[in-house]
Amino acid sequence: MNSSELTPSEIMDIAIKEARAALEEDEVPVGAVLLFKDGEIFRAHNRKEKENFFHHAEIIVLKNGLQNKGKENLRNSILYVTLEPCLMCLGAMIEARISGLVFGSYEEKFGGVELLQTLWKEGRYPHKFPFYGGFKKEECEEILKTFFLKKRKK
Amino acid sequence: MNSSELTPSEIMDIAIKEARAALEEDEVPVGAVLLFKDGEIFRAHNRKEKENFFHHAEIIVLKNGLQNKGKENLRNSILYVTLEPCLMCLGAMIEARISGLVFGSYEEKFGGVELLQTLWKEGRYPHKFPFYGGFKKEECEEILKTFFLKKRKK
């Protein structure tokens, strides 16, 4: 899919749509979009229950991006995700050497962004990328709340 | 492979053999063994160059273990690896809920164990596992040194 004319807000809306698709499949609703420099995007949602714990939305888009665009292009990609990534996904982003991260909700228990900043300050993990958290936060949080409310009712 | 009678030292020796196999393939020499409660083990080495950055030794053994033994058994597995794991691999171990980690060399730039401890102290990442670093350190370091010396000569 080529979307060179999409704004960041429209890209996050696609990630949010992916999160909603996860919700309908009874998966923790997280959606991700990987945007390449040429405008091409890859989209996915969490499939942890259907597949396994390696299938976080971020890992799926990174894998698809890598397979289809190659690792050189990954270096100029920006990852959008509705929830703050976990350590595994942040580690994969460092390995992929992406050039930016935008996320929606903050994740207090499993989020790893703050920690990554600490590492960077200590001069570790030489590959740094800028990130922006809290983008379209309310919408992203709403979907997560709906999911956990549904779970509690069951 | 069933190895219920292997000692920790013998298990690390298998990981070291895997690291040597990686060295021969011109891969950063890291080897890993995943030990299940019933004694079965899964072994692998880094295949980052031949495949891609998802193919760290730890990820390969976790994937093989998951496919062959299921996620419930993963919870009682112990991961042996010749080098301190990166964030991606530690994140995968948390997702897998392994019950222990033993590693050889420390990795100053990309190692994530210290960081993980900080998170645990802050009450984040509820799944904790004991780990032991520096096991058979000299042998593990020797293989890495050989690799980087070879690289420099080229």
Chain-chain contact of A53 with B125 (C-beta, under 8 angstroms)? no
**Whole-angstrom Cα distance, residue B34 to residue B39?**
10
pLDDT reading at A49 higher than 80: yes
Residue where the block lists tokens 């495949």:
B51
Q: Model pTM?
A: 0.93
**Contact (Cβ atoms closer than 8 angstroms) between residue B36 and residue B25:** no
Distance from CA of A53 to the nearest CA of B (A): 6
**Whole-angstrom Cα distance, residue B119 to residue B116?**
5
Task: Say what the pLDDT of residue A2 is.
Answer: 58
**Contact (Cβ atoms closer than 8 angstroms) between residue A116 and residue A101:** no
pLDDT reading at A154 higher than 80: no
Each residue's pLDDT tens digit, B106-152:
998 888 888 888 888 888 887 889 999 999 999 999 999 999 999 88
Structure-derived torsion over alpha carbons of residues A112, A114, A119, A122, reported in degrees to the nearest 10: -170
Q: Which residue of B has its CA nearest to A119?
A: B115
Among B46, B47, B88, B121, the strongest candidate for a mutation testing the A interface, having the largest count of A CBs within 10 A, is B88
Comparing CB atoms, the residue among B53, B59, B118 nearest residue A96 is B53
Residue A44, SS3? strand
Q: Which residue of B has its CA nearest to A109?
A: B124
Residue B126, SS3? coil
Residues within 8 A of A (CB atoms), B 73-92 only: 86-92
ipTM: 0.91
pLDDT reading at B3 higher than 80: no
Q: B119 in contact with A at a CB cutoff of 8 Å?
A: yes
Give the range with max mean pLDDT: A1-15, A99-113, B57-71: B57-71
Q: Which residues pair with A113 in a beta bridge?
A: none
**Whole-angstrom Cα distance, residue A17 to residue A129?**
25
**Whole-angstrom Cα distance, residue B147 to residue B68?**
32
Comparing CB atoms, the residue among A71, A87, A108 nearest residue B52 is A71
- Sequence-distant (6+) residues with CB within 8 A of A148 are none
Task: Say what the pLDDT of residue B40 is.
Answer: 96
Distance from CA of B56 to the nearest CA of A (A): 10
What secondary structure does DSSP assign to A84-142, as a single string? Answer: PPPHHHHHHHHHHT-SEEEEEE--TTT--HHHHHHHHHTT-SS----EEE-TTHHHHHH
Distance from CA of A5 to the nearest CA of B (A): 30
